[in-house]
Structure 1
Amino acid sequence: MAESLPQEMLTYILSFLPLSDQKEASLVSRAWYCAAQNALRETNVQYNIPVSSASLPAIKSLGLRGITCISLTNLDDSPASHEVLECVAYHLGPHLQSLCLSGGSPSEAAFVALILGCPALRILDLSGCNSLFTSGMLLAQPETAQRVQQVLSGLCELNLAGLWDLTDLSFNRLSSCAPSLERLSLAYCHLTFELGPAWGSLGPQDSSPSQLSFHNLLRFVKERAGRLHALDLSGTGLLPEALQALGQVAGLQLQELSLHGCQDLSTEAVAALCRLQSGLISLDLGGCSGLADGALVAISRGLGHLQRLSLRKLQRLTDAGCTALGGLQELQSLDLAECCLVSGWGLAQALGSGHRAPAPLASLSLAYCASLKDHLRAKLRRNLRSRSLFPQLHQELEHQASGPKEPPQPQGPSLLMLRALQELDLTACSKLTDASLAKVWDWDWRCG
């Protein structure tokens, strides 16, 4: 009966099965094999292909399966690499949506030839591909740039992280070929700043052939404000004035912003950003060593829809600042790793209070929080052994036949209130004991 189903319907059914079951189903018949192969074509699965002659048969096979997401490793300017790139363009190019060349060293001509064979690209990762930008001549020919623009008209995400040879001219040439960009990463690029009111007022003719300037980036953001939703400027040394200028761009509605390692940022600049870009759902301020409790208060007040927050290595952040996290009612992921002054008390007050609905937090990292104290464990034990709680547990054990009961609720502020938690990182929290973890695991077991 299943054989009579349209292959699209059979593919849809098999997509609900675990990978092992899909593999077994593919052995039933040719129709089931094709349906199982189609079910495996997930957009979030990236195939890593080492660049060598031995990979050519695999590339052809992946082409028959319509794979849409690949990463090429060990890419250089050798004849073998050219052969692999030609094979990728021919067999995978027509349906390739995501291409990663991170850390590779292709020639400019080989890169352009590859891109021209990939008309469906939506994601392009060129992080660390400095060889493409060393000469400053990539896409310098108008005819070539026009052909590349036709191919990259649907590109939504561009990763240019770690390109020390990237300049205003080369960035403008490449970005102009991608008019639909929504996500851009310039993380750890060498960004230069010229303070003054003229930021962003210079025209394309003023683009520098020798450096990547903030005024050029700001002009780009102004031109793409209506479409740009995600920026990664980690490690660029972004200044407080630059962050405020970025937040003030008319029409800009950022959803994701990463500023990891921008050590010169101030609490005032972060507060201004939160007022101006209140729609942010993801913010990374890890390693911004100039920030303290005030920044977290500003985040809580201004970013009510924040879902992911990283404050890793904020060594001035204290428990008092963590109490402000209670204002982030939609927070799903929180990274406080290496916040050496955080003991857990403020976190429990903010996220584990019984006076409000528990936060939907699914991922929490407290790794290397040296001040995470054993008093948290004692609080958990008191909660679990309180007079109002213990009789319920005792009665549950004696009368299991009477049917399941709701798990007991901890009394007072406690991280045990985080019922949606799926990932918890307590690496190197040396002041916690086995008893602390045992209580957490016991609570997780009782809650199913």
Structure 2
Amino acid sequence: MLNNSTSENRSVISGAGCTFEMDTPELPVENSCVHMEQVITYILSFLQGPDRKDASLVCKIWYLASQDYQFKKKVTYRFPASSVSLDGIRGLGRHPCYSVAISHLDSSPFSRAILQQVALHLGPRLECLSLRGSSITESSFLAVAPHLPALRRLDLSCCDSLFMSGTLLSKEESRQAVRAALRNLEELDLSSLHFLSDLTFNRLTGCSPDLRRLSLAGCHIAFQFDPYRGSSVGCDSTAMLSLKNLHRFLSERAPSLKGLNLGRTGVTPEGLRSLVQVRGLCLEELTLQGCKDLTDQAMTALWKWQPGLKTLDLSFCTELSDKTLLAISSNLKELQCLNLAKNRRITDSGLSDLMELKCLQSLDFSECSYISGGQLVKGLYSPQAQARLVSLSFSSCTLITDLTMFSLAQLVGPSLRVLDLTSCLYLTDLSVRAITTYLPGLVVLRLGWCKEVSDWGLLGLEEPTQECKPDKEKDDKGPKFSRNFGNMGFFSPPKRYLEEKPRRVTKQDLVEFGEREGASLLALRDLQELDLTACTKLTDASITQVLRFQDLRTLSLSMLSEITDSSLVSVASHCRGLTRLNLSHCPTLTDHGLSIAARSLHRLQHLHLSCCDKITDRSLTVLAEECKALKSLDVSMCKKVSMAAVELLQSQLPSLENTHTLFVGGADLFFTL
């Protein structure tokens, strides 16, 4: 029996002939909705988005708490330009909505009506608007832009039709209306615009005086000469965006601009030097992805003039070498995130010095084929090491070995949240056990194409050694000389390591797994993304035992030919929060398993089933009934799936935006090509 006394804040518990009294903390009175809502908001802050959505259905107070700004500001509502979207926009107007992305817009009156509805119902509170890839005109843009006074981020990337005519904001009254609305704009994305010129760039940026981040990735920028006149390009060009005009913009905005993206622009060493030397410019973020003309010597000005950089992306700058890595370690003392992916001239030299950067949190060495990680281990062992890594990527670094991974796991420790080891071909179960033992805080783990990972690694068990050869082989007294070199005993070639098959996990092994506390995959309790693509030695034995994560959102079991319906059903029952599931090229999965699994996957949004030969139209019928949130589906090359079933599914699920149906129904690939 429990009696609560609110006046004295004491609880009296009676039972089994004993009475205990204890002090209890004072709780908000239920009538005080404001205090109660604050408490519930704090509780909901520990939940993932889907869980918070379910919790909002408890009662009105819980619903109001779930609508708090701290939650809504992270949610982006995405919808295409369609008649159904009109009702959705009106509905969003009755709730807090801060970020919207609209696709498939064109120059039609209907698309303009969509934008007018956004301005009318969402405009006053909207902070982020994305029109990426839209084919809108200036009139359509002016239908929404002047009505967004709270806008902080605007994405106009790939909107070529908006800039093609060159008349954008050419009228003074239009500029004044847009300037009044975009006075608080902080981020502007103008990536991949082929018709951006000095004139249109100046008009648009002139309407946003407080810009902090600007993206011009993939734009055509004249860094040297005007191809039409053969001379240096001046400012206010009507044909292209010039280096001089960009230099003038940076000079004017130097005190406020903190982030600049010039990726894939062909920036020259001289052009980069002139930009980073602008007086008063203190960049914190700089992206130079795919700028292949940059060399080690060209980067010298960057270290000298921009020492306060916190985020630096030099991925796919193929001319950079270890000299750049050493310069980064010596000059960028505040660096937090460094991306050197796809730089094949980068080696281990200089990695040890990187660990002396006390602010360093994220490293990406994807496809740096000469990196083995040895110097990184050496740097972490050093007494001067101060880096606290949170994200680490060695994708396609084939020189990474078990020894390196075992050492790194111990040195990096519980702080690591993201680990990408995709296509590290020579990692085995030893690396998996090191990860599960020393990296319990992982949220993202990618082991795709690590083909030596087996059930033993995921279960945290040691694979039993091979049994001795038969007695008759032991009694062999010596080599047998013959014409066949392979039959000569001590000259017989060793078995190929990659062709050896591990011993199957037996029921007795699973009993041992249940009785011991080993370093199995279950130790990664916070896992939200797991990629096991093409780990071909995995079977039902491990998948059914260790894939039990309540917070798991993304899972790839693609190309696991040994798993059956048992794995699928087990995953669905223990990972009910999945939103993205990849089961492509799993030939043994059937309608029976998918039907049972679908009943537990109500949050599923993206499903890949390509090349699953036993999946039929029956599975699509079940998906229409159980997975109402499905947004994309891939059934390419599913021989027993018909186009009629796909079209029926599309009519039953309005949220289904993308369907991949290449060669469904057993279409002849060669005849089609």
Residue equivalent to 1:308: 337
Deviation at 1:367, TM superposition (A): 0.3
Structure-2 separation of matches of 1:218 and 1:208:
14
Is the contact between residue 353 and residue 414 of structure 1 (CA under 8 Å) also seen in structure 2? no
Structure-2 separation of matches of 1:215 and 1:147:
28
Partner AA of 1:100 in structure 2: S
Deviation at 1:77, TM superposition (A): 1.6
Query: Which one of the candidate residues 325, 337, 344 is aligned to 2:366?
Result: 337
Partner AA of 2:257 in structure 1: L
Task: Give a deviation string over 1:287-346, Cα, whole Å, max 9, x none.
Answer: 111100000111111110100000001100111132331232211111000101111111
Structure-2 separation of matches of 1:41 and 1:49:
20
Is the contact between residue 358 and residue 418 of structure 1 (CA under 8 Å) also seen in structure 2? no
Is the contact between residue 73 and residue 99 of structure 2 (CA under 8 Å) also seen in structure 1? yes
Residues 1:143 and 2:137 aligned together: no
Structure-1 separation of matches of 2:94 and 2:67:
10
Structure-1 separation of matches of 2:399 and 2:361:
23
Q: Residue 263 of structure 2: SS of its match in structure 1?
A: coil
Structure-1 separation of matches of 2:271 and 2:55:
56
Task: Give a deviation string over 1:257-294, Cα, whole Å, max 9, x none.
Answer: 00000011111222321121111000000011110000
Structure-1 separation of matches of 2:69 and 2:167:
42
Is the contact between residue 76 and residue 101 of structure 2 (CA under 8 Å) also seen in structure 1? yes
Query: Which one of the candidate residues 410, 414, 420 is aligned to 1:416?
Result: 410
Against the structure 1 CA distance between its residues 238 and 60, is the aligned structure 2 distance closer, same or farther, given a 3 Å change threshold? same
Residues 1:5 and 2:33 aligned together: yes
Residues 1:425 and 2:435 aligned together: no
Structure-1 separation of matches of 2:386 and 2:81:
49
Residues 1:76 and 2:106 aligned together: yes
- 1:188-207 correspondence to structure 2 within 5 Å: 188-194=218-224, 206-207=235-236
Query: Which one of the candidate residues 375, 380, 393 is aligned to 1:365?
Result: 393
Against the structure 1 CA distance between its residues 348 and 158, is the aligned structure 2 distance closer, same or farther, given a 3 Å change threshold? same
Structure-2 separation of matches of 1:424 and 1:17:
23
Deviation at 1:71, TM superposition (A): 0.5
Partner AA of 1:110 in structure 2: S
Task: Give a deviation string over 1:146-189, Cα, whole Å, max 9, x none.
Answer: 11111111111100000011011110110111111110000000
Is the contact between residue 286 and residue 311 of structure 1 (CA under 8 Å) also seen in structure 2? yes
- Structure with bigger helix share is 1
Residue equivalent to 2:154: 124
Deviation at 1:129, TM superposition (A): 0.5
Is the contact between residue 357 and residue 386 of structure 2 (CA under 8 Å) also seen in structure 1? no
Is the contact between residue 12 and residue 39 of structure 1 (CA under 8 Å) also seen in structure 2? no
Partner AA of 1:427 in structure 2: T
Partner AA of 1:325 in structure 2: L
Structure-1 separation of matches of 2:218 and 2:258:
19
Is the contact between residue 358 and residue 417 of structure 1 (CA under 8 Å) also seen in structure 2? no
Structure-1 separation of matches of 2:426 and 2:107:
52
- 1:160-309 correspondence to structure 2 within 5 Å: 160-194=190-224, 206-309=235-338
Structure-2 separation of matches of 1:323 and 1:139:
52
Partner AA of 2:394 in structure 1: L
Residue equivalent to 1:443: 438
Structure-1 separation of matches of 2:274 and 2:310:
20
- Higher RCO, 1 or 2 (CA under 8 Å, sep at least 6)? 1
Structure-2 separation of matches of 1:370 and 1:25:
45
Q: Compute the TM-score of the two structures, normalised by the length of structure 1.
A: 0.85
RMSD between aligned alpha carbons? 2.3
Is the contact between residue 235 and residue 261 of structure 1 (CA under 8 Å) also seen in structure 2? yes
Structure-2 separation of matches of 1:98 and 1:315:
37
% same residue: 42
Task: Give a deviation string over 1:53-100, Cα, whole Å, max 9, x none.
Answer: 101121111111120111001111223212211111110011101000
Task: Give a deviation string over 1:377-417, Cα, whole Å, max 9, x none.
Answer: 5xx3xxxxxxxxxxxxxxxxxxxxxxxxxxxxxxxx64521
Consecutive unaligned residues of structure 2, counting only runs of 5 or more, are: 1-28, 226-231, 441-518, 525-673
Q: Compute the TM-score of the two structures, normalised by the length of structure 2.
A: 0.58
Q: Residue 67 of structure 2: SS of its match in structure 1?
A: helix
> May I ask how many residue pairs the two structures share in their alignment?
407
Partner AA of 1:416 in structure 2: Q
Partner AA of 1:365 in structure 2: S
Residue equivalent to 2:89: 59
Deviates more, 1:28-37 or 1:104-113: 28-37
Q: Residue 6 of structure 1: SS of its match in structure 2?
A: helix
Structure-2 separation of matches of 1:183 and 1:72:
22
- 1:376-387 correspondence to structure 2 within 5 Å: 376=404, 380=406
Task: Give a deviation string over 1:14-34, Cα, whole Å, max 9, x none.
Answer: 542524564455344434433
Is the contact between residue 229 and residue 253 of structure 1 (CA under 8 Å) also seen in structure 2? yes
Query: Which one of the candidate residues 338, 341, 347 is aligned to 1:318?
Result: 347
Consecutive unaligned residues of structure 1, counting only runs of 5 or more, are: 196-201, 381-412
